Amino acid sequence: LDDPTYPESIAQWIEEQDTNFLAPIVYSTKQADCVRSQIATMIESLFAQIAVRAVKIGIRNFIVAGGETSGAVVKALNLGTFEVGPLVEPGVPWIHAVSAPHWLVLKSGNFGSIDFFIKAQEYYQ
């Protein structure tokens, strides 16, 4: 978390992955509510920075898990208004940025089945 080049390294790793089957997944090993508030905020900020860098390399679709992390990513991407799109599962739709070609799924911790992430990705394959 202290390395300022880490978000760029992750974005480069994402770009190098074969996305023919499933998109790469970036995650933390601790849930934000299991770590101190300051560290949780740093993790959320890291994911937001990674998303911004991912847009710069051409990524347009994001599946973000965690309410606070979702908020940090949406704020960092600065996409403005969204339209609600198709449901991945009840209560969790894809949303489309009105001003850009970006689609996002913002999943809080309590929603979604065990295969939620696969279902979300299959919609855009």
Measured between alpha carbons, how far is 37 from 53 in angstroms, rounded to an integer? 25
Give pLDDT, residue 31. 60
The pLDDT tens digits for 42-91 are 889 999 999 999 999 999 999 999 899 999 999 999 999 999 999 999 98
pLDDT-derived band at 24, boundaries 50, 70, 90: confident
Residue-range definition of the domain harbouring residue 37? 6-18+25-122
Give pLDDT, residue 125. 59
Asked whether residue 32 carries a pLDDT value surpassing 60, the answer given is no
Helices (H) and strands (E) in the chain, counts: 4, 4
Establish if 56 belongs to a structural domain.
yes
Asked whether residue 1 carries a pLDDT value surpassing 80, the answer given is no
Structure-derived torsion over alpha carbons of residues 112, 114, 119, 121, reported in degrees to the nearest 10: 100
Tokens (6 digits) for 51: 């998303």
Give pLDDT, residue 51. 96
Structure-derived torsion over alpha carbons of residues 60, 65, 68, 74, reported in degrees to the nearest 10: 10
Output the pTM of the full model: 0.87
Least Cα distance to 19 among 98, 110, 125 occurs for 125
Give me the CATH number covering residue 54: 3.40.980.20
Look-up: residue for tokens 């994911």?
47
State how many domains the chain has: 1
Which of 6-10, 24-28, 61-65, 75-79 has the lowest average pLDDT? Answer: 24-28
Q: What is the pLDDT averaged over residues 4-24?
A: 88
Establish if 38 belongs to a structural domain.
yes
